[in-house]
Amino acid sequence: MIEFLNNVSPILLAFMATLFTYSVTAIGAALVFVFKKINKNVMDAMLGFAAGVMIAASYFSLLSPARDMAENLNMNVTIVLFISFFSGGLLLYIGDKLFNLFDKKLSKKTNKENKNKYDVVMTRSMPPESHEIGIKIKKIKPCIKWIASFGDPIANNPYVSLTKKNDHTRFLVRVKRFPKTLVRNMLRKYVTENPIENKTIKYSDMIIFNSIEQQKYMLGNKKKESIVLAHSYYDKLYPKNVKKFDDKIHITYIGHLDKIRTPKLLLEAVRELKQADINLFEKLEVDFYGNLCTDDKLYIFNNELYDVIKYKKQVGYLESLKIMKESNFLLHIDANLSLVNNENIFFAAKLADYIGSCTPIIGITMLDGASANILRDINGLVLTYSKSDIKNYLRKIIYENYSFDLNKDACLEYSAKKVAEKFDDMVSSRLGVK
């Protein structure tokens, strides 16, 4: 090896040595892209190693030549080396302290300026990325109060869990997709969803939930400053002097439906009623505005229910409010979560819009949970996932003129004005922010 190097050009040797040192330095620096966070003990060890390397470099590049020069000048070598080494360390120490002092003053000034501009920052999921912004703001500007509002759970969402459960029961049919789906779901849960939700709960100053059930589900035994703030409606958006349909009874559903949140039981009940009364279409019309899954559309078609069940296109928000006012009854359907949870934790924002219309609401939901409790509070009708119950009440509505009125005083508690007042009071009293 030595003989080989002796025969190599000095210029080439210098190039090879430079390339080697550059490569080693680049590889070492590239480790920052591998680790997001480094253990403190590991960091201390790396800093100690780096310090050793720099001391060695200082000796061979600076102290050793200084020693030789001091000897040639008949100077005290020990004193020269001590002063040189100590002075270098002292300068680094002073520079570090001055930098920290400057950084603290700048941060304090910036925080003071920001405090004058912003007292509170509020984030809301979905999407969960909103809370990621809140986490970063809180770490940079801890003096700013952070309120995190959860529309739905980010991690361990019962609706998502039920969807996955149904998908995985059919994995043998899709064996090629299953491993990929499983890996994707695991990565999403443990790398994205859980960390965001846990950090949000940990670092936020206050959390807003839209139902007591959601609050209990997400916090469990965790002690955290939180409030329950319901979804609200804005009464000025609803049209005035709207007449109800009087040609027949119109039951209206507005919103998204799928294989999990499905009207299948209602469709089956209507089918049996139509078998008993061929002229049912003259008395009843059930309108679905929004999305219906293909299975439900086929069921309507195959059972010739399209004269009673009307599938209509999506409408704008303001138009939907007008339709709510015109309808005789409004239909609310929740996913049956009994396989994954013992109660429904979700308060759909659409239900608040329903409440604002003051139109009687029929809810097909779990008997325990947010929707059921809200409907009972406003004197709505709560039906379980039973075809016979649904059919019996439809029969009463169609043939016995069964009806009911919502409790208007209870409905007012879900108005934007009332909810805003509650929000202001709670934030002011608990966070000291006006």
In 119-171, where do the E strands start and end?
Answer: 120-125, 145-150
DSSP track, 189-228: IIIIIHHHHHHHHHH-SEEEESSHHHHHHHHTT----EEE
Q: Is the pLDDT of residue 51 over 60?
A: yes
In tens, the pLDDT along 82-121 reads 887 788 788 878 888 888 887 777 766 666 655 557 788 9
**Token pair for residue 352?**
């608040």
Q: What pLDDT is stored for residue 114 in this prediction?
A: 54
**CB 263 within 8 Å of CB 253:** yes
3-state secondary structure 344-392: ECCCCHHHHHHHHHCCCEEEECCCCEHHHHHHHHCCCEEECCCHHHHHH
d(CA 54, CA 25): 13
Of the two residues 379 and 119, the one the predictor is more confident about is 379
- CA nearest to 336, candidates 361, 360, 309, 369: 369
SS3 label, residue 130: helix
- Give the model's pLDDT for residue 168: 47
Q: Specify the pLDDT at position 164.
A: 67
pLDDT number for residue 181: 56
With residue 289 as reference, give the H or E element that holds it: strand 284-291
358 φ/ψ sector (left φ>0, alpha ψ -120 to 50, else beta): left
Contact call for residues 381 and 393 (beta carbons, < 8 A): yes
Distance (Å, whole) CA 421 – CA 74: 85
- Joined together, the tokens standing for residue 219 give 């916090």
What per-residue confidence (pLDDT) applies to 223?
84
pLDDT in tens, 161-203: 787 666 544 444 444 445 555 555 555 555 567 888 889 999 9
pLDDT, position 420: 94
Q: What is the mean pLDDT of the chain?
A: 85
pLDDT in tens, 278-295: 999 999 999 999 989 999
Q: In degrees to the nearest 10, what's the CA dihedral of 357, 360, 363, 367?
A: 110
Quick one: pLDDT at residue 354?
98
Q: What is the pLDDT of residue 174?
A: 43
pLDDT the model gives residue 16? 82
Angle at 164 between CA 161 and CA 169, to 5 degrees: 125
Mean pLDDT over 301-322 rounds to 95
Which residue, 280, 271, 273, is CA-closest to 304? 271
Structure tokens at 305: 């229910």
Strand partners, 312: 289
Q: Which residues pair with 148 in a beta bridge?
A: 123, 207
Structure tokens at 379: 């004197």
Domains in the chain, start-ordered, CATH in brackets?
Answer: 35-113 (no CATH), 118-228 (no CATH), 235-414 (3.40.50.2000)
What share of the chain in percent tops pLDDT 90? 49
End-to-end CA distance of the chain: 77
Contact of 55 with 89, CB cutoff 8 Å:
no
pLDDT tops 60 at residue 375 = yes
CA 267 to chain centre: 33
pLDDT at 173: 43
pLDDT surpassing 60 at residue 319: yes
Q: Is residue 31 over pLDDT 80?
A: no
Q: Give the pLDDT band (50/70/90) at residue 323.
A: very high
Length of the chain: 434
At 204 the pLDDT is: 92
d(CA 43, CA 39) in angstroms, rounded, equals 6
- Tokens read off for 320: 């939907």
Please check the confidence at residue 73 and state whether its pLDDT lies above 90. no
pTM exceeding the 0.85 threshold for the entire prediction: no
List CB contacts of 318: < 8 A, sequence separation 6 or more.
Answer: 237
The predicted model gives 299-318 an average pLDDT of: 94
